[in-house]
Amino acid sequence: MTSQATISTGHTFQLPAQLSASIVGAVFPADRGAVATLLPAGLEPIRATRTRAALTVLAVTYDRVGEDTIDPYDEVGVLIPAVETGTRTWPYLSGLRRGVSGYVYTLPVSTEPARAFGVDIWGYPKLVAEIDLRDTGRIRHATVIADGQQIISFEGWRPPTIPARLSGYNYTVKDEQLLREKTRLSGSVGMWPRGHAELAFGKHPIGQRLANVAVDERPLYTVAADCDFEIEAGSAIQS
C-alpha cells in the first residue's frame, strides 16, 4: 500500500520510501541486562549468543533518497537487535538473522532534511552531527561529533558480497507509540564472522549512555551492502 508524507522541510515522500545506500557495519555481543535497559516497553533483546545480547553499528552513505527528494547524506546508526516481547530467539541463529534489524537507539545524520525525513515520518531518533565517513581500501572509518563532543567512532572491514534480497524490521517510538517498520533491501550483500571492527564511545551524553553497556571488542560479524533499500510506513504495535 502506497501513501505520501510531507515533512517539516516541505519535502514530500512516497511511502514505502526508496533509498540507495552503501553500508558497512558490525554486530557486537553485548551485556544482555544493560542492553535491555535501553529498549522501550514491548521489546526485548535477541539472544545473540548463549549469554549475550547484541549491539549493532552501521555506517551508511545514501546516494539517493526518494526520487532525489533530498540531497544525499551520511549517517551512523546504533541499533539494538530486538524482538517483540514474548518472541522466541535462538543463540547465534538469531544473531545472524536479526543482527541488522531491531530498535534504532540513535541515528546521527549529516543534514537537516535527513533528520526531518526520519523524525517526522517514523520517529527515528535522528540528530544533525558532524560525520567524518570515509573508506580506505576495504576499511570504512566513521567519527560522529555533536555539540562539540564525540558520540562514536567506528572502523569496520567490508566483507566480500554476493547478490541478495533481505527483509527485516526496524522499531521506533513516535508520539509515545511503539512502531514497527518493515524494511527490504536488494543488491550486493555480505557478512563475515569475526571480521575486523573497532568501536569506541565518546563524551557526548549519548556516547556516555552507550559506554555503560559492556560490549565485546570482537564482533560476531561484519556486514556490508551496496543496495536499494525500502522502508514502509510504521505500523503501531499494540501493548
Percent of the chain with pLDDT over 70: 99
pLDDT at 100 over 90: no
What is the pLDDT at residue 88?
Answer: 86
DSSP states of 94-163 as a string?
HHHHHTT-EEEEEEEESSHHHHHHHHHHH---EEE-EEEEEEETTEEEEEEEETTEEEEEEEEE----EE
Identity at 16, one-letter amino acid code: P
Contact between 82 and 46 (Cβ < 8 Å): yes
Other residues' Cβ atoms within 10 Å of the Cβ of residue 177? 15
- pLDDT of res. 94: 76
- Distance, in Å, from the CA atom of 168 to the CA atom of 184, rounded to the nearest integer, reads 6
Nearest CA to 101 out of 197, 195, 231 is that of 231
Other Cβ atoms within 10 Å of 1 Cβ, number: 6
Cis amide leading into 16 (omega within 30): yes
**CATH 2.40.400.10 is held by the domain 19-232:** yes
Task: Say how far apart CA 73 and CA 20 lie, in whole Å.
Answer: 11
pLDDT given for residue 61 in this prediction:
98
* Cell numbers standing for residue 147: 555539540
Q: What is the mean pLDDT of residues 156-181?
A: 96
pLDDT of 139 over the 80 cut: yes
The answer to whether residue 95 scores a pLDDT higher than 80 is: no
Nearest-Å Rg of the Cα atoms of the chain is: 16
Q: Half-sphere exposure of 171 toward its Cβ, with a 13 Å CA cutoff? A: 24
Question: What is the reported pLDDT for 239?
Answer: 62
DSSP 8-class letter at 237: P
Q: What is the pLDDT of residue 126?
A: 98
**Domain ranges across the chain:** 19-232
